[in-house]
Structure 1
Amino acid sequence: MSLPKVRSTTVLGVFHNGEVALGADGQASMGNTIAKSNVKKIRKLQDGKIVTGFAGSTADAFTLLEKFEEKLGAYAHNMKRAAIELAKDWRKDRYLHKLEAMMVVANKSELLIISGTGDVLEPDMGIAAIGSGSMYAQAAATALKKHAPHLSAEEIVREGLNIAADICVFTNHNLIVEKPV
């Protein structure tokens, strides 16, 4: 008998009116049960210049985060290049290839999604969403950007995540939102 994996989350990043914000809820689920309600899925790197969010298996996500930090060091803190090199390794390396996680990374001017299939995506409309509640959060953020352009990126992320938490059973209202410096 195998144990259910700890997973489920919602991560939302928004680039709006010249600023970026990245946030996530705090829920980790094990099967149909809430395992923890205040998980910190947002991390700051390089003295806050880069903010990352992860979804998927927690141990796998931390492994990817460490590898991403290594790539940032190897490529002179060039976030996009580090993301591309991580995705290449993730796709080729036997150990990394088995990891089940995704990441959103952001600096003041870029927002990227990194996946285990070797993709590094610059999302359309400046909205990046991953995890079980991602489509709810993305839909809410899209509507907010279009119909409430006066809101800040941080306000759009918070409201998008709150809307997702109202709909998705794997997303809660315990939010962490960060902005790169």
Structure 2
Amino acid sequence: MIHHDSSKMYGTTILSIRRDKNVVVIGDGQVSLGHTVIKSGARKVRRLSGDSVIAGFAGATADAFTLFERLESKLDKHPGQLMRACVELAKDWRMDKYLRKLEAMMIVADKSISLVITGTGDVLEPEDGIAAIGSGGNFALSAAKALIDVEGISIEEIAKKAMKIAADICVYTNHNLIIEKIEE
């Protein structure tokens, strides 16, 4: 049996799907402390950099807000260069003794690229345009990959269906979804 520390926050699911120049980032709203749901409508997906970037986080809330602020600062220094801003953030995150302790992961996307950023210094671009993080991430990722080739279904519909599956399976993910998209 898996035992969770009841003083730590757990779980969420963030999913990003890209097709051509269109991208969707979707996240659930559940915040859990140990085995207890503390909040069901948290906003873990938001817009940055004058609405040109979408970011979603999984992990400790205060840590995520710190990372959002840092990423926004990097985007201000490197406008229109999401990859460079993310690499600079990952360097800081890995090297700075304060930031190194942050427990979170992020998915970020703009009109050109989608990336996963981790505290270990990784900045990863998914090969197929689909990425997911958090406790229900693998469920959402699997569902999205299964649906991506179905004709006549939009990436927004795929994202919603995949998140429903994740929320049905993962106890740390709920059905209160926030979705942001960039369409061309």
* Ranges of 4+ aligned residues in structure 1 off by more than 4 Å: none
Q: Are the structure 2 counterparts of residues 97 and 149 from structure 1 closer, same or farther at C-alpha, using a change threshold of 3 Å?
A: farther
Q: Distance in 2 between matches of 1:68 and 1:133?
A: 24
Contact map agreement 1:17 1:152 (CA 8 A) in 2 = no
In structure 2, runs of 5+ residues without a counterpart are none
2:68 aligned with 1:70: no
1:112 aligns with 2:115: yes
Looking at structure 2, the residues matched to 160 and 136 of structure 1 have their Cα atoms a distance apart, in angstroms, of 8
Q: Which residue of 149, 160, 163 corresponds with 2:165?
A: 163
Query: One-letter code of the match for 1:72?
Result: L
**Whole-angstrom distance in 1 between the partners of 2:68 and 2:30:** 19
Aligned partner of 2:17 in structure 1 is: 14
**Match for residue 101 of structure 1?**
104
SS of equivalent to 1:179:
strand
Preserved contact between residue 137 and residue 164 of structure 1 (Cα < 8 Å): yes
Taking the aligned partners of 1:112 and 1:65, their CA distance within structure 2 comes to: 14
Identity %: 53
Unaligned segments of structure 1, at least 5 residues: none
Alpha-carbon separation, structure 1, partners of 2:173 and 2:46: 18
2:167 and 2:173 in contact (8 A); partners too: yes
TM-score normalised according to structure 1 size: 0.95
Q: Quote the RMSD (CA, aligned, Å).
A: 1.3
Choose from 60, 64, 78 the match for 1:61. 64
CA contact 1:71–1:86 (8 Å) conserved in 2:
yes
1:36 and 1:78 map into 2 onto residues whose CA distance is 34
Bigger mean CA offset, 97-106 vs 15-24: 15-24
Contact 2:6–2:35 (Cα < 8 Å) also in 1 = no
TM-score by length of 2: 0.93
Q: Partners of 2:14 and 2:133 in 1: how far apart?
A: 5
**What's the CA shift for 1:124?**
2.3
Q: Distance in 2 between matches of 1:149 and 1:18?
A: 18
Encode CA deviations 1:115-150: one digit per residue, 9 max, x unaligned: 00000000121111000000000000000003x142
